[in-house]
Amino acid sequence: MLMTVQMRHCVRAAQRGDKIAIVELLKAFKPYLYRQAKKYQPYYQNFHEALSTACHGAIDCIYQYDLSQVEETVTEVMVASVHNHLRRESYRWTCYYKNVEKNIVENDTLTDLPEDIASERDCPELCYLEDEVRLQLYQALNQLPELQQTFIRLHFFYGYSYQQIAQKYHLQKSTICGYIKRGLRNLKILLAAYNGPVNSDQY
């Protein structure tokens, strides 16, 4: 596996949009991703679906990792991210299959299938668009001032409340709220720049 310093360089490059760096990081964690996918395979239709979820967890970690932190290594955050993605998705699939069984056969009578049985998640075009949007979001997020970026990550990615963030950084709750509001406003501007100029006639 790559050394920590090399790994951090790869993460930095990946966050700047270097797809080769992303591939290298995924290669470094390939044995771990395969082990976790195999472990969670019973919850999925096949191994490749489980592996896809593990890879999504890895990519999310790459884009979300705070390079300024020293408490946790890339490896530690990667392991947590992949585990959380697989655990969350396996639970969702378990509930989904129970719903399918309940709707297909109930009291020996065939009933309607769930409306979402042909899930949009299986659409390659949609998956590609989701990845592109995710990439644009993380690239824009990395351009924000440090505190705006940090507080948005804590609140939206890690589930911290405004009060919890305020306590962690010894600030007022209203101050945290202000940072996040300004950060979201700046994100909107940056994302609009990625997608071309906004037509003011629409508003």
Percent of the chain with pLDDT over 70: 71
107 Cα distance to chain centroid: 40
Predicted model pTM: 0.47
Domains and CATH numbers, the chain: 1-119 (1.10.1740), 143-203 (1.10.10)
Which pLDDT score, from 0 to 100, does residue 179 have?
92
Which pLDDT score, from 0 to 100, does residue 53 have?
84
Which pLDDT score, from 0 to 100, does residue 175 have?
92
Which pLDDT score, from 0 to 100, does residue 130 have?
58
Token representation of residue 190: 């940056």
Residue range 172-193: average pLDDT?
88
**Which has more confidence, 50 or 202?**
50
d(CA 53, CA 190): 28
Which pLDDT score, from 0 to 100, does residue 54 have?
87
CB-based contact 152:141 (threshold 8 Å) = yes
CB-based contact 133:60 (threshold 8 Å) = no
Query: In residues, how long is the chain?
Result: 203
113-123 b/e (C-beta count within 10 Å ≥ 16 → b): eeeeeeeeeee
pLDDT digits (tens, 9 = 90+) for 114-126: 444 444 444 544 4
Which pLDDT score, from 0 to 100, does residue 203 have?
32
Token representation of residue 104: 């297909």
**Phi, psi (degrees; rounded to nearest 5) at 137:** -60, -50
d(CA 160, CA 109): 46
